[in-house]
Amino acid sequence: MDKKETYYLGKVVKPFGFKGDLVLFFDVDEPEEYSKLDGVYIEINKVLVLYPISSIRLNGNKATVRFENITPDDSLKLIGKDLYLPLSLLPKLDGNKFYFHEIVGYEVVDSEKGNIGIIESVIEYPAQP
């Protein structure tokens, strides 16, 4: 799968127990949408590799998963790796809502100053206290 056909879901955070389970962090607004995933793509050496999921337990924005056909030792090699899903699995949004990746490439125009530039990326920061 080409990375341009996917979206960033989150990251493999840490091991859970001794049987090869892993904790995943989902960097999404509604993690419950992902409570029944069949698999995720993990970037290994700049290549997206599909890892089928045999079990998943969701807890907030984190999930404990066990991947099929992976040893406990091999699961440790996945810690810190990024997770991706195909764009086709993105939940549909209502009304005028959009995903950040959808506006990359759009031109920004101010009603007074005119052309500001082209959106290259969207960086989301936590709210200020």
| Boundaries of every domain in the chain | 3-88
Q: How many alpha carbons lie under 13 Å from residue 83 in its C-beta half-sphere?
A: 24
Per-residue pLDDT of 26-43, as tens digits, reads 998 889 989 999 999 999
- Domain at 3-88: CATH code: 2.40.30.60
Q: What is residue 129's predicted lDDT score, i.e. its pLDDT?
A: 55
- pLDDT band at residue 74, thresholds of 50, 70 and 90? very high
Q: Reply yes or no on whether the pLDDT at 127 is more than 70.
A: no
| DSSP structure class, residue 106 | P
> What is the mean predicted confidence (pLDDT) over 56-80?
95
Report how far residue 74's alpha carbon sits from residue 61's, in angstroms, rounded to the nearest whole number.
24
Report how far residue 123's alpha carbon sits from residue 121's, in angstroms, rounded to the nearest whole number.
7
Report how far residue 18's alpha carbon sits from residue 62's, in angstroms, rounded to the nearest whole number.
18
Tokens 């960086």 -> residue: 123
What predicted TM-score, i.e. pTM, was given to this entire model?
0.79
The whole-chain average pLDDT of the chain stands at 90
Report how far residue 2's alpha carbon sits from residue 114's, in angstroms, rounded to the nearest whole number.
36
